[in-house]
């Protein structure tokens, strides 16, 4: 999707969403994710759980950043629907659990519910598999609050979260770069609504759309 938007600006007259459903990482995205593995292998304290958005680009980022060396082979991996990107384009529409489980058998997709159910935002009365309408700010922020509560309720003290631009921006107020990794104190630095989306709904910036998944390591207060 990034490559499409470089040639087709979203603000241009006649711009049309190509509906590239659940886009995958580009070669450059895979290179960046693999490069991140050197840093994740040295994380202290070591993550006890890896959580990722169920969108394919996030799952693949997590697999490359935390998986290829075998360093985290024993660490559980959970796909959490609350961690998905805010819906901007068709690239933010996902695939059902049945398809994801076949492609990523090492992940726990229980959170997604029924094997054939959609888990992304769809306006009421619309087809979730063909509709990509901007997810309202209030809907998205309520989901970020729920995601923070979900993380806080987990028994693990150190959790690696692989999510997206919108999720990281909401929690921190910062615009993360591709495959940027940060270690954050959960209580003081991970707060839903830290980033205001108002300005982006007035004048959306290019780097919101279809970006490669971001990586952020959240340290829970219980660690300290």
Domain that holds residue 68: 2-13+21-223
pLDDT of amino acid 71 = 86
Give me the pLDDT at residue 77, please.
98
Please report the pLDDT score of residue 204 as a whole number.
39
**DSSP summary character for residue 108:** B
Query: What's the confidence (pLDDT) of residue 89?
Result: 81
The total of structural domains in the chain comes to 1
Domain CATH code at residue 216: 3.40.50
Output the six-digit token pair for 193. 């609504």
Tell me which H or E stretch contains 21: none
What is the per-residue pLDDT for 213? 39
**What distance in Å separates the CA atoms of residue 24 and residue 60, rounded to the nearest whole number?**
8
Which pLDDT score, from 0 to 100, does residue 207 have? Answer: 36
Mean pLDDT by 10 residues, the chain (224 residues): 50 60 92 93 94 98 88 96 93 96 97 96 94 92 97 96 94 90 92 73 37 40 31
Of the candidates 213, 214, 221, 175, the one whose C-alpha atom is nearest the C-alpha of residue 23 is: 213
Least Cα distance to 130 among 221, 20, 5, 31 occurs for: 20
Global pTM reads 0.82
Looking at residue 17, its pLDDT comes to: 57
Helix (H/G/I), strand (E/B), else coil: 137? helix
């Amino acid at each position: 999707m990034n490559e499409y938007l470089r040639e087709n600006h979203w603000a241009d007259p006649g711009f049309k969403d190509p509906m590239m459903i659940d886009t995958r990482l580009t070669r450059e995205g895979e290179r960046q994710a693999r490069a991140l593995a050197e840093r994740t292998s040295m994380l202290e304290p070591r993550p006890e759980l890896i959580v990722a958005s169920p969108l394919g680009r996030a799952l693949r980022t997590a697999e490359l950043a935390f998986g290829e060396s075998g360093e985290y082979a024993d660490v559980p991996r959970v796909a959490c629907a609350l961690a998905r990107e805010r819906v901007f384009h068709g690239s933010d529409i996902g695939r059902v659990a049945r398809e994801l489980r076949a492609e990523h058998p090492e992940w726990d997709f229980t959170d997604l519910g029924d094997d054939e159910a959609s888990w992304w935002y769809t306006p009421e009365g619309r087809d979730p598999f063909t509709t990509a309408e901007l997810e309202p700010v209030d809907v998205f922020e309520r989901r970020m609050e729920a995601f923070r509560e979900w993380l806080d309720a987990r028994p693990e003290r150190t959790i690696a979260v692989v999510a997206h631009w919108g999720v990281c921006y909401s929690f921190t107020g910062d615009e993360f770069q591709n495959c940027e990794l940060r270690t954050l104190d959960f209580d003081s630095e991970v707060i839903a609504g830290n980033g205001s989306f108002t300005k982006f709904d007035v004048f959306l910036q290019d780097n919101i759309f279809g970006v490669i998944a971001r990586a952020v390591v959240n340290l829970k207060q219980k660690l300290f």
